[in-house]
Amino acid sequence: MGDSMNAKELMQTVAEDRDELVGNFCEMLRISAVGPESGGEGETERAKYLTKLVRDLGFKSVEVLESRDPRVPSGKRPNIIIRLRGSSDRNLWVVTHMDTVPVGDLSAWKSPPLEPRVEEGRIFARGSEDNGQALIASLYGLKALVKNGITPECNIGLVFVADEEMGNVHGIDFLLSKGVFRKDDIAVVPDHGEKDGSGIVVVEKGIAWIEVEVVGVQTHASTPEKGVNAFEAAARFMLLALERVRKRFDLCDPLFDPPCSTFAPTRCEANGPNVNTVPGRQRFAFDFRVLPEYGLDDVFSEVRAAANDIEKSTGAKINLKLDQRADAAPRTKSDAEIVRRLSTAIEVVRGVKARPMGIGGGTCAAPFRRLGIQAAVWSTSTQTAHDANENCKVDDVIADAQVYALLFAGDNLDRN
C-alpha cells in the first residue's frame, strides 16, 4: 500500500492489532515499575520487556539511556527512545512514562492490581491509565506506519521515560540534559486527558503552596489582653491576604476551568487541646493556582505585605514559607502547529472538534515549553489515575493509537 494508503485504511490497520495490543499491554502491566521513594525497584524490568517488544514489532532504532541511581537494585533508571525517520527534518515526539505509583490499599481493589483484568471493555490494573494507555497507544500508532511502509511526515520519536511520578530527575530532566530534544521540535505529552478525547492542554497555571506560621503569646482565655492571640491574627491575616490577591490578580482566561486564578486556604493545624487558652501559635497553608500572566514573586510579595500589616496591628509574628513553587511555563499557542495537527487527527478518528484548554495543575509539558518546544498535552482518560481499580477503556486505547497513526503520517497520508 505504501504512501498511497488513506486515513480509513490506516485506522483499520490499528484496529486489526486490537488483540495483540491488549495482550502486550497486559504483559507490561504485570511488571512492577515503582520508584525507590515508594519502596519499589524502579523501571528496569519493565524497560527490558518494552525494549524487546519494540524490536519484535519491527523497530530498528531503539536506544536506552540510563541515569545512575544507587537506590535501585540495577543502579540505573532506563529511558527508551524509539525513532522512525520521516520525510522532513522536523522532530515530533511523544513522551510517556513507564513508572507508576504504588498499588496502595490492596483491600480497595476488586482484583490484584498487577494482574490485569479485562472486563466489560476495560483493563483494570495499576498504571493502565497512568501512563500505560498512552505508551502502548503511541507504540501501536507508529507500528501501523511501519507495517504499511508509510514514511511519516516528521521524524518520529517515542520516548518512554523513568521517574515521572517522583519528579522527572532520572527521566525528562535527564534527557533534556543530554540534548535529546531541540528547540524547534514539536511534542505530545499525554499527561492529562478528557473522557471524550477532545481536550488539548496548551497552558497551565503557576502553583504556589505557602506555609504560614503565626506566633503570638499564649495566655488564659479569661484575660486575652495579656497575650497575643495567634488564632485571631491568623484569621485576620488570611482574610486580608485573600482579599488583596483576589483583587490584584483578577484576570480571567476562558481556556481554564475555573477561568481565574484561585487562592485557597487549605490545611489548618490544631493549636491546642483546650478551649480556655488563647493560643500562642497557629499554622495553616495556602494553595494558589495563578494564571501565567502573573509572576509568583508578585503574588508572594502581596501576601507578605498583608502579613506585615497584620503584624503591626496585632503584635503577632507571621512567618511565610514557600513550600512548593512551579512557575507557569510559556503557553503553547492555541493555533500552534502541533495543536492543529493533533486536532485534525482527533476529529477524523473521534468525530469531535478538539478544543485547546488550560488546567490548574502542572504537567510534564512544562520543561519542554520552557525550552521553546511546542508541546500539547493530550490523551483520552477515564480519570482514574492513582485510584484503586485504576482502569482504561480498550476502545479508547485503540482510538488514541489511531489518532497517533494519523498524526505521525501527516501529509504523507492520502486524505481521500
Q: Write out the catalytic residue numbers.
A: 99, 164
Q: Which CATH number is associated with domain 206-326?
A: 3.30.70.360
Percent of the chain with pLDDT over 70: 98
For residue 313, give the 3-state DSSP assignment: helix
Give pLDDT, residue 130: 96
- Concatenated DSSP letters of 94-116: EEEE--B-----GGG-SS-TTS-
Residue 4 has pLDDT above 70, yes or no: no
- C-alpha span between 150 and 5 (Å, rounded): 8
pLDDT of residue 305: 98
Nearest CA-CA partner of 46 in 16, 78, 5, 7: 78
C-alpha 117: how far from chain center: 25
Compute CA 411 distance to the chain's CA centroid, rounded to the nearest angstrom.
29
Note the pLDDT tens digit of each residue in 284-336: 999 999 999 999 999 999 999 999 999 999 999 999 999 999 999 999 999 99
pLDDT, tens digit, 9 for 90 and up, residues 239-297: 999 999 999 999 999 999 999 999 999 999 999 999 999 999 999 999 999 999 999 99
**Cell numbers linked to 6:** 488513506
Answer whether 185's CB lies under 8 Å from 91's CB: yes
Average pLDDT for residues 220-224, to the nearest whole number? 97
**Cα 166 to the chain's mean position, in Å?**
11
Q: Has residue 1 got a pLDDT over 50?
A: no
Residue from 307, 328, 366, 310 nearest 208 by CA: 328
Look at the domain 2-204+329-412 and name its fold.
Answer: Aminopeptidase (3.40.630)
Distance CA 74, CA 67 (A): 11
Which grid coordinates belong to 15?
484496529
Average pLDDT rounded to a whole number, residues 69-90: 97
pLDDT of residue 2: 42
Left, alpha or beta for 301 (phi > 0: left; psi -120 to 50: alpha)? Answer: alpha
Interval 358-377: pLDDT, tens: 999 889 999 999 999 999 99
Write out the three cell numbers for 169: 530527575
**For the chain, domain boundaries:** 2-204+329-412, 206-326
Q: How many CB atoms lie within 10 A of CB 416?
A: 7
Indicate the pairing of strand 122-124 with strand 155-161.
unpaired
Give the pLDDT score at 415. 54
The pLDDT score that the predictor gives to residue 5 is 80
Indicate whether 416 pLDDT > 70.
no
Which cell numbers in the block locate residue 396? 479508547
Alpha helices in 221-362 (DSSP H): 230-248, 296-314, 337-350
Using alpha carbons, select from 114, 97, 113 the residue that is nearest to residue 27: 114
CA of residue 196 relative to chain centroid, distance = 18
